[in-house]
Chains A and B, each alone.
Chain A
């Protein structure tokens, strides 16, 4: 069933994607040197996490303060493979035990721990990057959501797990590289990842994966599961009474966001050449929530722009005025919540879009345009299937472009 609303949202989708692609593929590479471009690539790897949070938090209402865990797991899996490749017997000949990573040698380890063995193979590493965080999220979600732990309690427990994870990585120096993380990564499958050419390639790879992720997120958000998630966020009991297993949908979205975060983590490691526990812990995890909140928690594109803007601002300001940045990011947190809970996407939808369509309408003849718009909206409402109305999904969600849809304060919690 092709409703006018869906058709117009498809138009919006194509426009959004074109703008994003133009920015990432044309504007950035042509206006920046390779150092800046590499930095943009690094920020884009955070955007994977922010997009996962849009679905998990914006749509599902599950605020996970432990996305750093999944980002870190993905990143560490990649880093372990690269580290093993960098620790050839020739290169580590001066160590007591040649052939194992340098930090293990410093910590008096004489052989490779068993869980490092798997990372000798590249295909297996790729599988593990995607599998480890997702499986972890699955079991974690299973424990939490099947027992109906939700809301605030879920957030606090994810935070505790992020805390445990950091302490564990820092404490087990011989196995994980400790507080410094896994550094000094050189090649991936024989290709040197530190050259400018490799950095350019990795940037485009990151953009490519990001676009795939955008498509995947859009598909999920428009699917039945996406609509049910919004319904669960707004009234969990009602969805449960309608006969759906709420826990399964929540587990799904948590796993999905963990999957995306892991891809981001792996891309981060490849582009920066290191991974450290500071990207796993509480502070990093909450910062990722801010990316999402600034962009607009209901907008997939907003998450990307939010990530880029906050990260660029952070780098620019904290380089020059480190004190100012702490105050500013604190103010951003409060402002995002108090003044514009819909984020940049909300500002765009509320102020820029009406202005643009007003401009459009004036060109076409204001009266005719407005009347057609109204009629199109009525048509759209008429075509909403009855079961969606029963679930209490506001009709604007059926358009699925994610820019609108936050109606009142209650639905945000």
Chain B
């Protein structure tokens, strides 16, 4: 398989595919971070997570169109506005969904799966009705396009770099919220022992709602990043949902470092293998390896020791 290439060619291939993998890693990680909170901490199986991501993507699309129409001078910086708007839009929808559906189902995790799957079908249809079945592409400002020429044979696209930086910022933000803020402390208290958390004066229902909407908001940012790499269609979210769940489960639910490592591993494995075989076989082999490892180690790569 490797025999047809010289050593320097192989190095460039691995570098370029590795960077392509980093873009995939960014999307996986951004989606998985939101899911790690919602599923890993709260235990809600949010099958509509992909649709929250797509909401962020469509929000970015609308924002870019609005900027182009009404404030062309500010167009180069619309992306930063779009990140914030996507976060708010997806978060608001998340809060609404939590209030309407999820809060009734905390004691029945498998039923949240069915309800959110229904929600995802409804959202897909809503997107299709509003934006059409065709995929839409967001126009990037000039400074985000092009590529950095590292060596003669290695090129690194700038939009990929920006997405990577955005991912790093969101990850640090997430860590700060989870482990350095009052909300994070309250959330972890509620997860560990709900009645006790309530007894010491934490409003557990409110913490649930904020947490769920926060996780959905992160998915919105993922959607914003998604538009920089690919085009957005109504069903694009569904393509990623299984991978995202595997990322969270594989990393070990409830650990931030596990989620990061597993997103990195899965994305890199898939991306590097894609060069040597068809994309579908690369995906099959990656998923099989993940499922295989999960059968041997059901608790995931990194597991938190919790007394059950």
- Chain A residues proximal to chain B, CB less than 8 Å: 63, 65, 143-144, 147-149, 151-153, 155-157, 159-161, 163-164, 167-168, 170-171, 282, 286, 289-290, 293, 323, 326-327, 329-334, 336-338, 341, 409-410, 412-413
Contacts and interface: CB of A to CB of B under 8 A. Distances in A.
A131 B156 CA distance: 51
B118 interface: yes
B159 to A, nearest CB: 27
Contact of A159 (B111, B129, B242): B242
Contact of A155 (B107, B110, B119, B280): B110
B283 interface: yes
A412 B114 CA distance: 13
Contacts of B169: none
Contacts of A282: 242
B278 interface: yes
A412 B245 contact: no
B101 interface: yes
B278 A171 contact: yes
Interface centre among A161, A332, A413 (most CB of B within 10 A): A413
Nearest to A412: B108
Contacts of B111: 337, 341, 412-413
Given A155-B110, A160-B242, A160-B290, A167 B295 contact: no
A337 B104 CA distance: 10
B122 A327 contact: yes
A326 B125 CA distance: 6
Nearest to B110: A63
Given A171-B278, A330-B118, A333-B118, A410 B290 contact: no
A108 to B, nearest CB: 15
Interface string B271-299: 00000001011011001101100111010
A332 B118 contact: yes
Given A149-B298, A159-B242, A164-B288, A337 B281 contact: no
B108 A331 contact: no
A36 B287 CA distance: 40
Ordered nearest first, which 5 A-B pairs have the shortest CB separation?
A333-B118, A330-B122, A171-B280, A330-B121, A326-B125
A323 B109 contact: no
A337 B284 contact: no
Contacts of A63: 110, 113
Interface in B27-41: 39
A409 B108 contact: yes
Nearest to B113: A155
Contacts of B121: 326-327, 329-330, 333
Contacts, number: 124
B124 interface: yes
Interface of B: 39, 43, 45, 101, 104-105, 107-115, 117-122, 124-125, 128-129, 242, 245-246, 249, 278, 280-281, 283-284, 287-288, 290-291, 294-296, 298
Given A160-B290, A326-B125, A143 B283 contact: no
A160 B287 contact: yes
A163 B108 CA distance: 25
A167 to B, nearest CB: 5
A337 B124 CA distance: 20
Contacts of B124: 326
Contacts of B107: 409-410, 413
Nearest to A413: B108
Given A155-B113, A160-B287, A167-B284, 10 more contacts: A152-B43, A153-B249, A156-B242, A156-B245, A168-B280, A171-B281, A171-B284, A323-B129, A333-B119, A333-B121
A232 to B, nearest CB: 15
A148 B295 CA distance: 10
25 contacts: A144-B295, A147-B298, A151-B109, A159-B245, A160-B246, A161-B291, A163-B287, A167-B280, A167-B287, A168-B280, A171-B278, A323-B129, A326-B122, A326-B128, A333-B115, A334-B101, A334-B118, A334-B119, A337-B105, A337-B112, A337-B114, A409-B107, A410-B108, A412-B110, A413-B107
Contacts of B112: 337
A330 B127 CA distance: 14
Nearest to B44: A152
A169 B107 CA distance: 37
Contacts of A293: 114
A234 B166 CA distance: 45
A220 to B, nearest CB: 21
Contacts of B283: 167
Contacts of B278: 171
Nearest to A408: B107
A168 B122 contact: no
Nearest to A162: B242
Contacts of B115: 333-334, 337-338
A338 B108 contact: no
Contact of A338 (B104, B109, B291): B104
Given A333-B115, A334-B119, A152 B109 contact: yes
Contacts of A336: 114
Given A149-B298, A151-B109, A293-B114, A156 B122 contact: no
Contacts of A156: 45, 242, 245-246, 249
Nearest to A61: B110
Nearest to B297: A147
Interface centre among A63, A152, A167, A286 (most CB of B within 10 A): A152
Contacts of A409: 107-108
Interface centre among B101, B112, B295 (most CB of A within 10 A): B295
Nearest to B296: A147
Nearest to B283: A167
Contacts of B288: 164
A1 to B, nearest CB: 35
Nearest to B285: A164
Contacts of B281: 171
Contacts of A159: 242, 245
Given A152-B45, A155-B110, A147 B122 contact: no
Contacts of A147: 295-296, 298
